[in-house]
Amino acid sequence: MKVLILAAGYGTRLARDLAESSEYAHLIGCPKPLLPVAGKPLITYWMEMLSTAHVQPSDVYIIVNNFNNDKFVQWKKDFPSVNLISDGSTSNDTRIGAVACIHLVVKQANIDDSLMVIAGDTLFYQDFSLTDFIKSFNDLQVTHPRGCSLLTYYTCSDLDVHKHGILEVNGEGLVTALVEKPKPDHTNSRKACPAFYLFTKQSLPILDNFMEDNKELPVSTRDAPGNFIRYLCTRQAVSAVGTSGRYDVGGLQSYITCNDNFKVTTAVS
């Protein structure tokens, strides 16, 4: 299994929030995956979880942008075997988008294996077990010889349905659709799907097809990785397991909440 951490975004919403804050102004210019959470970079928590799950740093790829590349090079001194790949962009206007980033790494690194994709600005609640998630994926491959990718979801409220990509799942536990930010009355599901996926080896050629079919669309239309999930689940078996929740560090308030909660957990442990 290979792992890809998406870290090529520019954090424009967080940057706007920080520009209006005196208390957190020292974080201006810090990429979201490198934000300090309870004293260490957010992305470092993922490296620790991957280590516990026996994933080698040499199997981890991090896609960054040229603008922030040097900051990740500095962070990488603690993880010298990790692979950094740049998407070549220097601004939010020149970004290639999350799905294109996944495709770029698959091609450039010649990945021919299952691939875990992690949003670099996301952390799950502390009861999440990466080891259990990987075991669930491996178990699925026994019952689905043609391959079955695995997603996660957490239950959101009616008021928050419109903020998320929502999974619809059939009676066999397979994902039938991902509805992007629907109104509450447009779906009965409340399964919010974060950008955290474990794709099978067999799904990677489908990524080629997605890129070809959508090559004429603007980045703003095809950027979100949920667009590929919606495409994939009509072509390959996709399942999902529940989790209690996650921190999506999109703006300053969500960062503060994540940081404060991890401080409490660290102090207790």
For 213-238, write each residue's pLDDT tens digit.
998 888 877 778 999 999 999 999 99
| Mean pLDDT of the region 243-258 | 96
Q: The domain containing residue 84 runs over which residues?
A: 2-268
The pLDDT value given to residue 259: 96
**Can you say whether residue 220 is alpha, beta or left, with left for phi > 0 and alpha for psi between -120 and 50 degrees?**
alpha
At 267 the pLDDT is 54
CA distance 36 to 42: 6
- For residue 268, pLDDT beyond 60: no
CA separation for the pair 51, 134 (Å, rounded):
13
Sign of the torsion angle spanned by Cα atoms 194, 124, 242, 155: negative
> CA angle, 115 as apex, 175 and 122 as ends, to 5°?
75
Type of residue at 70? D
Tens of pLDDT, residues 147-194: 999 999 999 999 999 999 999 999 999 999 999 999 999 999 999 999
pLDDT reading at 269 higher than 60: no
One-letter identity of residue 4: L
Q: Which residues contact 77 (CB under 8 A, 6 or more apart)?
A: none
Number of domains in the chain: 1
Q: What angle do CA 192, 118, 264 make, to 5 degrees?
A: 75
Domain with residue 148: its CATH number is: 3.90.550.10
SS (H, E, C) the chain: CEEEEEECCCCHHHHHHHHCCCCCHHHCCCCHHHCEECCEEHHHHHHHHHHHCCCCHHHEEEEECCCCHHHHHHHHHHCCCCEEEECCCCCHHHCCCHHHHHHHHHHHCCCCCCEEEEECCEEECCCCCHHHHHHHHHHHHHHCCCCEEEEEEEECCHHHHHHCEEEEECCCCEEEEEEECCCHHHCCCCEECCCEEEECHHHHHHHHHHHHHCCCCCHHHHCCCHHHHHHHCCCCEEEEEECCCEEECCCHHHHHHHHHHHHHHHHHC
Exposure class string for 176-192: b at 16+ Cβ within 10 A, else e: ebbbeeeeeeeeebbbb
pLDDT band for position 198 (50/70/90)? very high
Of the pLDDT bands very low, low, confident and very high (cuts 50, 70, 90), residue 266 is low
pTM to 2 decimals? 0.96
Per-residue pLDDT at 265: 73
A 10 A CB-CB count for 234 gives 11
pLDDT at 127 over 60: yes
Contact 143, 149 (CB under 8 A): no
Mean pLDDT of all residues belonging to the chain: 95
Tally of CB atoms within 10 A around 229: 24
